[in-house]
Amino acid sequence: MRPTLRVDSQPGRCAGRSCSGPDCGARRRVCMTSHNTFLPQMRAARIASLSNVVHAVHVAVRQHASTHEASGRASPVAAVATTGPRIIGARQLALIILAAVLTLHSMPAVAKYGWASASYYLLGALVFLVPLSMVVGELGTGWPRAGGSYAWVREGFGDRQGLFAIWVAWVTNLTWFPVVLSFLAATVAFVIDPSLAENRIYVVLMVIGVLWVLTFANFLGTRWTLRLNNPAVVVGTLIPCAVLIALAVYWLCSGRHSQIPFTAGKLVPDLSSIGALVFFVGVILGYTGVEAAGYYSREVQEPKRDYPRAIAVATVLIVGASILATLAIALVVPHSKLSLVAGIPQAFTEIFRQIGAVWAGKLMSALVAIGTLALVSTWVLAPSKGLYATERAADLPPWLHRVNRRHVPVALLLVQGVLSTVFALLYLIAPSVNTSFWMLTALTTQMLLLMYILIFAAAIKLRYSQPDVERSYKVPGGTAGMWLVAGIGIAGCLFSFALGFIPPSEVKHWPTPIYAAVMAVAIVLMSLPPFIVERIKKPSWMEPHPDPVLLDATPASTPDESKPAAAGEAASRPAGTPAERAIDDAAAGQP
């Protein structure tokens, strides 16, 4: 759910703020693009198990870090030419998108639709997945040196909007942690005692306990999480998904009872009730992360050829796997008993119980839990390391500057843990576990949609404000084509955003006005901090001696890595951005 290094050496154009003076560029070289490195880092860690892709990106990133010379607002195309060979083809790019997008925890919500879930997945691909893939392809090849949602929005609308985009990307983790950890708690419950999955106290204790264990464990740094994540992506996500689909095929071929008997009419979505439509938000959440493709634009061999092919292949695989795995859940688990939190282990348990292999159901649930644990462990540290980079623009108060000897921003980790714990307590006050799970899922999706709307709008704006910038891949159809594609994407985001304020009819909930008010207040409160910080920040917030590993505060031109380092050089040489170090560690397999 991509690593880039952007250095801004133009005087008067410092990271996230304006200043003047001959040494401005030397003192403030780290652009706020570093804020967005946590997303590339997480996506890079997720695809680390795809060894050929990781190795290719590893080589490209190292070449990029050693050859890229900052040139202010020079042509992005010129920057591309200095990054070395392009080594990612259409197949590898499709794998990157697949690994960044495909997840299991959102499927039970969509399984509520039964056979109609196939139609919803196709609709989601049409109004969100495909438009976003195409727009990201153009932005990534037009502005590869900037990379990422922050940089694209900043190019289109300026620093403030760019800062808001990266803040939204960070703050959604506070609501996402309880969602995914509740899925983990329910999955573990099916290994121990399935009845625990609906026990709110158990879910809250598991969510908070695992969150804080991972928080303190991450004080040791990132390498252990990367080593865990490499095999866990395959063991805990890809294999369970494939097994679930295979078991569903066996279920049907063996003549066992289907919970959703097929008729052609059941493929048509039920539009009679708006409350029945809201699970479409789960479809959109399942498609987030496709922007991963834009972060590898420098390394794509033939962007005009490979981007359309990769988008087509990845879309077919993602939509196909999502439809089949979701239908597998709906086929096996009775609609009235389907849990939004525990739908995956429910399906495994029921299938293996029918064939007399209960132990296998527990094993698959354990594998899913391992995959989820690895995914969360990567995210615990990555966003805080990205947010730490904002202190170069004096965006962090001094009490958040604390970093330990392992270069971990411990103060930010503690704040992140406290805020996520507060959101986890929603499971105690909401009517049910499913209600809490859904509200946090909808809130996470709504916040992310704000960022995606800005990305679509920036793509349109840049067609007018920077028409001469060469894009190796362009959305076909000229300006009209961009308006059509981005317009469909914006419309899909707005529709999904509005659905998030409506409680689903399948889940117990507060009265609709209270539900909608709670969601609106939460969105406003989560959106305010970047605007408040912009007004109250002080020059004294600037850290005089920032952590040299977390911030690439040295000149962009680095020594040739093929030559031995001079005495004392190894200690002073920049360690690279967090995203680069993540890929370095993953590819090298360092402990």
Asked if 550 and 37 touch (Cβ cutoff 8 Å), the reply is no
Question: Within a domain: residue 7?
Answer: no
Domain tally for the chain? Answer: 1
11, part of any domain: no
**Among 283, 287, 295, which Cα is nearest to 96's?**
295
Residue 346 dihedral angles phi and psi, to the nearest 5°: -60, -45
In terms of C-beta density within 10 A (0-12 exposed, 13-18 middle, 19 or more buried), how is residue 216 classed?
Answer: middle
Please report the pLDDT score of residue 482 as a whole number: 96
Residue-level pLDDT at 80:
35
Considering only CA atoms, which of 448, 489, 486 is closest in space to residue 464?
486
Contacts of 180 (CB under 8 A, 6+ apart): 105, 372, 375, 376
17 lies in a domain? no
If we measure between CA atoms, which residue out of 428, 454, 450, 427 comes closest to residue 524? Answer: 450
Query: Is residue 106 assigned to a domain?
Result: yes
pLDDT of residue 230: 57
The CA distance from 465 to 358, in Å, is 61
- Quote the CA–CA distance of 524 and 342 in Å, as a whole number: 30
pLDDT of residue 72: 30
pLDDT of residue 435: 80
- 348 vs 135, 190, 192, 372, 496, CA distance in Å? 38, 10, 14, 16, 30
Go through 106-116 and write b for each residue having 16 or more CB atoms within 10 A of its CB, e for each that does not. bbbbbbbbbbb
The pLDDT assigned to 75 comes to 31
Instruction: Per residue of the chain (591 residues), give pLDDT as tens.
Output: 433 333 333 333 343 334 444 444 444 433 333 444 444 444 444 444 444 443 443 433 333 333 333 333 333 333 333 344 566 788 877 777 776 677 788 888 888 888 989 999 999 999 999 999 889 888 887 886 544 677 788 889 987 787 788 788 778 888 888 988 988 999 999 999 888 888 889 999 999 999 999 898 888 876 665 566 657 767 887 888 899 999 989 988 888 888 888 877 888 877 666 766 787 888 888 888 777 666 566 667 887 778 788 888 888 888 898 999 999 999 988 888 888 888 889 889 888 988 888 899 999 999 988 888 877 876 777 667 656 766 666 667 888 878 888 778 888 889 989 999 998 888 888 777 778 888 888 888 899 999 999 999 999 999 999 999 888 888 999 999 999 999 999 999 999 999 889 887 777 777 888 888 989 999 999 999 888 888 888 887 877 667 766 664 433 333 333 333 333 333 333 333 333 343 334 333 333
- Strands of 156-246 (E only): list them: none
Domain assignment of residue 392, yes or no? yes
Chain-centre distance for alpha carbon 384: 14
Domain with 335 in it: 24-588
Secondary structure class of 30 (helix, strand, coil): strand
* Domain membership flag for residue 38: yes
Pair of tokens at residue 508: 């117990």
User: Token digits for 577?
Assistant: 């951005």
Structure-derived torsion over alpha carbons of residues 471, 473, 475, 479, reported in degrees to the nearest 10: 20
Q: Which amino acid, 535?
A: R
3-state SS, one letter per residue, for 116-164: HHHHHHHHHHHHHHHHHHHHHHHHHHHCCCCCHHHHHHHHHHCHHHHHH
| CATH, residue 350 | 1.20.1740.10
Q: How many other C-beta atoms can be found within 10 angstroms of the C-beta atom of residue 57?
A: 31
Global pTM value: 0.69
Residue 29 domain flag = yes
In the block, tokens 């739908």 appear at 343
At residue 22, the pLDDT reads 44
Residue 2 belongs to a domain: no
Helix axes 433-465, 200-217, angle to 10 degrees: 50
Tokens of 307: 């981007």
Residue 212 is predicted with a pLDDT of 94
Supply angle C-alpha 519, 522, 523, rounded to 5. 85
CA pseudo-torsion sign 40, 45, 50, 55: positive
Q: What is the sign, positive or negative, of the torsion defined by CA atoms of 44, 48, 129, 91?
A: positive
Distance, CA of 44 to CA of 4 (rounded, Å): 12
For residues 5 and 59, the answer to whether their CB atoms sit within 8 Å is no
Report the C-alpha gap between 403 and 219 in whole angstroms: 10
| Distance of alpha carbon 537 from the chain centroid | 28
Return phi, psi of residue 88, to 5°: -105, 120
Q: CA angle 361-209-112, nearest 5°?
A: 45
Q: What letter would DSSP give residue 258? A: P
